[in-house]
Structure 1
Amino acid sequence: MKSQSSTLLAEVRTFRQNHPEVRYVDLIALDIPGHFYGKRYPVEMLEKVAAGSPLKLPQNAVLLGAQGGLFKIGDYCFHDGDPDANRRLVPGTLKPVSWEAQPLGQMLITSDGTEAPIEFEPREVLAKVLERLQHKGIHPVVAFELEFYLFDKKLDDGLPQFARDPLSDDADDQPNLHIERLSRFSEVLDDMAQTAQAQGIDITVITAELGPGQFEINFGHCDDGLRAADWAALFCRSTRGVALKHGYRASFMAKPYLQFPGSGMHVHVSLYDGAGNNLLAAHQQQPLRHAVAGCLELLPHCMPIFSPNHNAFRRLGGTVNAATRASWGFEDRDACVRIPDSDPRNLRIEHRLASADANPYLVLAAILAGLEHGLEARQEPIAPLNEDRNSGADFPLEMLDAVRAMQHQAVLRDKLGAEFIDVYCENKRQDHLAFQQEINAREYRWFL
């Protein structure tokens, strides 16, 4: 603890020396729906926290619904006195914020690694999975890919408008994969990439995707699963801020247009032993097949994580590469679990089902739980799509069905934690019911 305090204190002091104009730092963490919550601290108080002073926030902040409200979940929120819970600073995440009007810093906080971690905090759920794998001699290497849309900054009666082409000032309303779109939107995209890199995020490839104003960002492969998920979470925050600065609105919404492709979160995972050998490539790739079988077995029970809201289910079975059944295949983008072509050293799975607005900590935890289960059970997977285009297992396509499939699944309760599963399922159930408590214009058109 003394060593960590010394490291954190040095990090804060170096930050203050390099950024004397910064007076406040946002201390932030991701809640269950994938939104950041936290507090804005004077930088001199941050130095005290780094030196060992307590950092406490309400425990139930993790339980906020998609609109920020609290739901009654067991004894939480309304029968527990709303207690505080200790958080800690995440080393290496104190960075300047460049998209706000005033100089500001931000730093991740978490309950994992504290004396009493919050069992249902997303980062803690992932931390437990990674710790268990490490004790088994399994070391994941992870890379996220995130798709998102750019819209005009102003909404039209609440609806998104196509982003304006900076060169022609016309709406970028033509779906394409052309490299010229990267050039036309280079100013905002370059700023997004540079800002992400300033946050310590390893940005690699930028792609113009098929939807109008849609792009994809790839991150570097990382041997620290928590850091890889941190990158995905922080990128969403910085990208939204940079877009607004340039007169756009960036959104990771899963399906903003019914007629165009949705936005996904693709996760590449390879597994290594302590000597650096790729576990999936051993014994003529038999462990790869076992891992795939485990992923596919748990996938139908993880749908509330992969599709965390009503809109995310709209993305499934859409126009491009979004499956409606649990499937796998070699070099097949129609599969939920794709095996990219690679040499044995880099053999990996690409999990393609999650929506871009899913919680990256929970998505990775669910994928790793599936891989772990597969390696333990040693079952053969169903036929790949390369052999049978009809191969696949059904999974729920509606939230309440998905919650029922998740809540009592024994393997998930064991690997992700029974308390987390119960809290998460009730959070999603209550969010879905709250979403239904509004009569929209379509209902009046149909039934008035």
Structure 2
Amino acid sequence: MKSHSSTLLAEVRTFRQNHPDVRYVDLIALDIPGHFYGKRYPVDMLEKVAAGSPLKLPQNAVLLGAQGGLFKIGDYCFHDGDPDANRRLVPGTLKPVSWEAQPLGQMLITSDGTEAPIEFEPREVLAKVLERLHHKGIHPVVAFELEFYLFDKKLSDGLPQFARDPLSDDADDQPNLHIERLSRFAPVLDDMVETAKAQGIDITVITAELGPGQFEINFGHLEDGLRAADWAALFCRSTRGVALKHGYRASFMAKPYLQHPGSGMHVHVSLYDAAGNNLLAAHQQQPLRHAVAGCLELLPHCMPIFSPNHNAFRRLGGTVNAATRACWGYEDRDACVRIPESDPRNLRIEHRLASADANPYLVLAAILVGLEHGLEAAKEPLAPLNEDRNSGTDFPLEMLEAVRAMQHQPALREGLGAEFVDVYCENKRQDHLAFQQEIHAREYRWYL
């Protein structure tokens, strides 16, 4: 513990030496809906925390709804006295913030690794899954891909406007995959990449996607699943900030335009043993088939995680590369679980169902539980789409139905933790009901 504190203290002191103009550091963590919460700390107080002083925040900050409100979930929030819970600093995440007007730093905090972790904190949920897999001799290697849209900074009557082409000042309203879009938006994209790299994130490929003003960013593969999810979360935060600095609005909203493709979170996962052998490639890839079967079996019960809000369900079906059934295939982007072409060393699954605004810690945790379940059950999957284009099983396409499917699934309750599943399902149920508490103009047009 002393060595751990010494490492953190050295990190803080090195940061202060390299960034003497920074007076405050945002200590941040992801809540259940995928928003950052935290505190802004004077940098000299951060040294005390790094040296071992307690860092406490309200436990129930993790339970905030999409709009920041608290819901009654069991005894949490309104009958527990709103207690504090210990957090710790995540080593290696203290970085400068370049998109704010004033010099600032940020650092991730978490309850995992403390004496009393919060069972429903997203990072803690993933940490427990990874720890269990490691004890079984399974070591995931993970890479995220995130799609997002650029909009004009100003909304029009609350609605997004197409991003302006900086060369012509015309709206970038044409769906295309042209490489020229990367050139036209190079200043903001380059800044996003460099800012992400300054956060320690390994950016690899940038793609102009099909939707107008839509892009995809790929991250490098990591043997540390927690850090891979950290990258995805931190990239969303920095990208939104950089976009505003350049006069745009960046959004990871799942389906901003009904007539254009939605934005997804694609997760590549391969599994290795302690010696570095690819477990999925053994025995003529039979473990791969078992892992796929487990993923597909649990997928209908994980929909509140993969599609975490009302808008995210709009993304499913009706456009390219977004499935409406639990299915798989080799080199098939219509499949929820795609097997990219690769050599045995790099054999992996690509899970393509989650929306870009899903919580990356929980998405990865759900995928890994599915893989784990499949390897242990050793069942054969249904036919791949390459053999049968109608292959697949149905999954819920509406939040309340999805919550019912998730809450009492035994493998999920065991794999993710029963307390987490109950808390998460109630959070999603209450958020969905709160969303319905508004009469939209369309109802008056149809029924007045």
TM, length-normalised to structure 1: 1.00
CA-to-aligned-CA distance 1:132-179 (integer Å, 9 cap, x gap) = 000000000000000000000000000000000000000000000000
Shift in Å, 1:205: 0.3
Whole-angstrom distance in 1 between the partners of 2:183 and 2:332: 29
Whole-angstrom distance in 2 between the partners of 1:234 and 1:226: 12
8 Å contact kept, 1:31–1:64: yes
Shift in Å, 1:3: 1.0
SS of 1:148's equivalent in the other structure is strand
CA-to-aligned-CA distance 1:87-109 (integer Å, 9 cap, x gap) = 00000000000000000000000
Whole-angstrom distance in 1 between the partners of 2:378 and 2:133: 16
Whole-angstrom distance in 1 between the partners of 2:43 and 2:11: 12
Whole-angstrom distance in 1 between the partners of 2:93 and 2:446: 51
Whole-angstrom distance in 1 between the partners of 2:318 and 2:121: 31
CA-to-aligned-CA distance 1:359-393 (integer Å, 9 cap, x gap) = 00000000000000000000000000000000000
Instruction: Percent identity, please.
Output: 93
Matched ranges for 1:362-381 at <5 A: 362-381=362-381
8 Å contact kept, 1:192–1:239: yes
Shift in Å, 1:413: 0.1
Report what 1:314 is aligned to.
314
Matched ranges for 1:342-357 at <5 A: 342-357=342-357
Shift in Å, 1:318: 2.7
Shift in Å, 1:319: 1.1
Whole-angstrom distance in 2 between the partners of 1:22 and 1:394: 52
Whole-angstrom distance in 2 between the partners of 1:252 and 1:206: 15
Query: Structure 1: which 5+ runs fail to align?
Result: none
Shift in Å, 1:317: 0.4
Report what 1:258 is aligned to.
258
SS of 2:34's equivalent in the other structure is coil
Whole-angstrom distance in 2 between the partners of 1:443 and 1:423: 32
Whole-angstrom distance in 2 between the partners of 1:298 and 1:147: 24
Whole-angstrom distance in 1 between the partners of 2:230 and 2:264: 17
Shift in Å, 1:401: 0.1
SS of 1:96's equivalent in the other structure is strand
Shift in Å, 1:356: 0.1
8 Å contact kept, 1:262–1:318: no
Report what 2:12 is aligned to.
12
Query: Structure 2: which 5+ runs fail to align?
Result: none
Whole-angstrom distance in 1 between the partners of 2:2 and 2:331: 48
SS of 1:319's equivalent in the other structure is coil
Whole-angstrom distance in 1 between the partners of 2:232 and 2:3: 28
CA RMSD of aligned residues (A): 0.3
CA-to-aligned-CA distance 1:8-64 (integer Å, 9 cap, x gap) = 000000000000000000000000000000000000000000000000000000000
SS of 1:87's equivalent in the other structure is strand
SS of 2:125's equivalent in the other structure is helix
8 Å contact kept, 1:301–1:402: yes
Whole-angstrom distance in 1 between the partners of 2:316 and 2:52: 47
Whole-angstrom distance in 2 between the partners of 1:87 and 1:447: 51
Whole-angstrom distance in 1 between the partners of 2:62 and 2:120: 8
SS of 2:85's equivalent in the other structure is strand
TM, length-normalised to structure 2: 1.00
Moved over 3 A (4+): none
Whole-angstrom distance in 1 between the partners of 2:318 and 2:140: 31
Whole-angstrom distance in 2 between the partners of 1:320 and 1:13: 50
Whole-angstrom distance in 2 between the partners of 1:6 and 1:441: 59
